[in-house]
């Protein structure tokens, strides 16, 4: 004897509705989390761009870096360069002075030049020596 085939639901029947007392579906990323993620990603991109675009700027110089002046003594155009690829005319940063007192470079042995940059709220001086 064979068993009867199971009854299939009528294709015209609508699927059951969710119960009214059922807990609402939880969202993992609500509007606040999404906004925080957008801000975090934007801040990371801005920091990366700033680091990339200002890496050669003299404001980022520190002792031991090499610099190149593509301008003149009266109108300098100073950028940070790779010391291993630096040309013979490039100089090495011996000391960075925060402020406008060039006399602070006098205490550093081997200084042959200084570079002063004045910004609206900040002045700094690079005490420069030969690359050797």
Number of domains in the chain: 1
In a domain, 116, yes or no: yes
Residue pair 64/92 in contact by the 8 Å Cβ criterion: yes
In a domain, 9, yes or no: no
In a domain, 32, yes or no: no
Residue pair 58/115 in contact by the 8 Å Cβ criterion: yes
pTM of the predicted model as reported, rounded to 2 decimal places? 0.58
Q: Residues 1-58: pLDDT tens digits?
A: 566 766 666 666 666 666 666 666 666 666 777 777 778 777 777 776 655 655 667 7
Residue linked to tokens 């001086």: 125
In a domain, 51, yes or no: no
Q: How far is CA 50 from the centre of its chain?
A: 5
Q: How far apart are CA 94 and CA 109, in angstroms?
A: 9
Residue pair 62/35 in contact by the 8 Å Cβ criterion: no
Structural domain range at position 76: 58-130
Residue pair 57/47 in contact by the 8 Å Cβ criterion: no
């Amino acid at each position: 004897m064979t068993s009867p085939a199971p009854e299939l639901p009528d294709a015209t029947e609508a699927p059951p509705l969710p119960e009214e007392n059922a807990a609402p579906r939880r969202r993992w990323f609500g509007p606040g989390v999404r906004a925080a993620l957008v801000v975090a990603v934007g801040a990371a991109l801005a920091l990366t761009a700033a680091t990339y675009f200002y890496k050669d700027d003299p404001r980022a110089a520190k002792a031991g870096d090499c610099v190149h002046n593509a301008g003149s003594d009266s109108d300098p155009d100073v950028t940070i360069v790779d010391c291993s690829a630096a040309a013979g005319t490039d100089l090495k940063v011996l000391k960075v002075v925060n402020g406008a007192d060039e006399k602070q470079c006098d205490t550093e042995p081997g200084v042959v030049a200084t570079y002063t940059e004045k910004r609206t709220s900040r002045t700094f001086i690079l005490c420069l020596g030969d690359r050797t």
